[in-house]
Amino acid sequence: MIHYKTKEEIDCIRESSLLVARTHGELARHIRPGISTLALDSIAESFIRDHAAVPAFKGYQGFPYTLCISPNEVVVHGFPGGRILKEGDIVSIDCGVLLNGYYGDSAYTYAVGEISPEKKRLLETTYRCLMIGIAETKVGNTLGDVSWAIQQIAENAGYSVVRELVGHGVGKRLHEPPELPNYGKRGRGEKVKDGLVVAIEPMINMGNRFIVQEKDGWTIRTADRKPSGHYEHTVAVINGKAEPLSTFAFIEEALEKNTHNTTIIRE
């Protein structure tokens, strides 16, 4: 059953989501060739704890890190470790926090240095999928309308949609009803209502839609090892339309000052 949130609950989720956004902004200052994914995880954990919050992912169903860091062909749930980011990589970083009893959740796919035109187009399309998903999350639509719109943007651009992984409700739990797939049919699913809080997170593959899980039990990569893009905002439906509770503004501000990165994906 979907729990529709009060204004007070939405304000709490907004506070958590903004801390996630600020954590991303801190990470964006450090994204560059030569940094390890484990170093980024340490930066995020320290930042979150310094702001009186708890990393949402660490310990969640046994996940051992603060961030999910997923380079290139890794779709989601990648483990931080000794891997060194290199020029031309793309890397999805998914971050969540628990603050004052409520969760926030957001992901951004970063370019590491100069990336290929093919990777840039994939990221631009995935970003557009997120933006159309937010725009279609409005009273009068169904969740299927949102899913359908995301799918159309991706497939019309020649990409494929991961089907086994979905967006989700957010609140006092990190994952709540409803599930929000990135593919679907118009008119299907629950009606969008005021008070809905959901993480919209398109995961879009350059190649085919199929994925595999690595032996660590978490890391999901594309079956054909082609790159995948991933963006995520937590949004709330207020006065009939979706309002993002997380933001990429801190990321964009940091990347504009980061001379190691020349690509900022924005609408």
How would you classify residue 226: left for phi > 0, otherwise alpha for psi between -120 and 50, otherwise beta? beta
pLDDT given for residue 260 in this prediction? 73
What are the residues whose beta carbons fall under 8 Å from the beta carbon of 31, sequence distance 6 or more?
A: 40, 85, 91, 110, 112, 255, 258, 260, 261
Q: Collapsing DSSP states into helix, strand and coil, what is residue 92?
A: strand
CATH number at residue 15: 3.90.230.10
C-beta separation of 42 from 187 below 8 A? no
Tens digits of pLDDT across the chain (267 residues): 999 999 999 999 999 999 999 999 999 999 999 999 999 999 999 999 999 999 999 999 999 999 999 999 999 999 999 999 999 999 999 999 999 999 999 999 999 999 999 999 999 999 999 999 999 999 999 999 999 999 999 999 999 999 999 999 999 999 999 999 999 999 999 999 999 999 999 999 999 999 999 999 999 999 999 999 999 999 999 999 999 999 999 999 999 888 776 577 775
89: Cβ contacts below 8 Å, ≥ 6 apart? 33, 71, 72, 111, 112, 113, 115
Residue 163 lies in a domain: yes
Grouping H, G, I as helix, E, B as strand and the rest as coil, residue 57 is: coil
Number of structural domains, the chain? 1
In a domain, 263, yes or no: no
56-73 residue pLDDT tens: 999 999 999 999 999 999
Question: Is residue 106 in a domain?
Answer: yes
**pLDDT at residue 265, rounded to an integer:** 74
pLDDT digits (tens, 9 = 90+) for 212-237: 999 999 999 999 999 999 999 999 99
145, β-bridge pairs: none
Flag whether 31 is in a domain. Answer: yes
- What pLDDT, on a 0 to 100 scale, did the predictor assign at position 261? 66
Instruction: Give the residue from 264, 262, 261, 263 showing the smallest Cα distance to 31.
Output: 261
The pair of structure tokens assigned to 105 is 């959740």
The helix or strand, by DSSP H or E, that contains position 176, with its residue range, turns out to be strand 176-180
pLDDT at 262: 58
Residue closest to 56 by CA, chosen among 98, 105, 10:
98
Inside any domain, residue 135: yes
35 domain residue, yes or no: yes
Q: Which domain holds residue 126?
A: 7-257
- Domain membership flag for residue 253: yes
> What pLDDT was estimated at residue 121?
97
pLDDT for the residue 258: 81
